[in-house]
Amino acid sequence: MTSGHANQDVIAPLSARHLREATDVLLRAFADDPILTFYLNEPRRRGPAYRAFFGDAIHAHRRFGHAYAALRDEQVVGTAVWRPPQAGQPTLWERLHTWWATQTVRALFPRTAGAMFQGFAATQALHPHAPHWSLFFVGVDPTLQGKGVGARLLAPVLESADRAGTLCYLETPFPRTHAFYRRLGFEIASESHPFVGAPRLWTMIREPRAVA
């Protein structure tokens, strides 16, 4: 199912033919991520590392059916990837793909990538105990940020969570995003440093809203 908007944006499931475009958008959207750039601290090598990291994240989550693209004139301008409640364990092929992506990032940043991946592992303890949707990431092309694209990307899962009465959860290292997420119903749940030596991370939780 897709949804249109007056500016011709279309929100649709992320298709295989748009994977590279979606990854490119994420490279631009997270170019100043304070945690990723802390560890992946050499700009010339960061691009290939980002491509491996974000490409694997998309690959690992598309099978759940909740990876979305914002399309404008058939071009990807934003991407959101969710992990649903009770997603289960990754397949053998997904584990192999993740291993390859991880090794690529480690080869590019042999001194710092290990600590970054340890930080991601540590964030698992921050998740709610109750079943929840987890926003793995949402990214919008920097030229279109602040124009409502991100909210439209997140709407399909937020509406589904409301109908089912399910929590939604996310992590952000960007203080500037707090107001945006609060408008969608999220509230800060914690502030911590799971990435040793790197900037802090906030977690946010959204209680389901009543459906008319």
Q: What is the pLDDT of residues 110-145, one digit of tens each?
A: 999 999 999 999 999 999 999 999 999 999 999 999
Query: If you count them, how many residues does the chain have?
Result: 212
For residue 90, pLDDT beyond 90: no
Q: How confident is the model at residue 91 (pLDDT cuts 50, 70, 90)?
A: confident
Nearest to 139 by CA among 208, 68, 202: 68
Nearest to 192 by CA among 103, 107, 127: 127
What CATH topology corresponds to 3-206?
A: Aminopeptidase (3.40.630)
pLDDT, residue 5, reads 43
Paired sense of beta strands 132-140 and 167-172, if any: parallel
- Can you give the pTM of this predicted structure? 0.92
Can you say how many angstroms the Cα of residue 14 is from the centroid of all Cα atoms in its chain?
A: 13
Measured at the CA of 101, the angle between CA 97 and CA 106, to 5 degrees, comes to 145
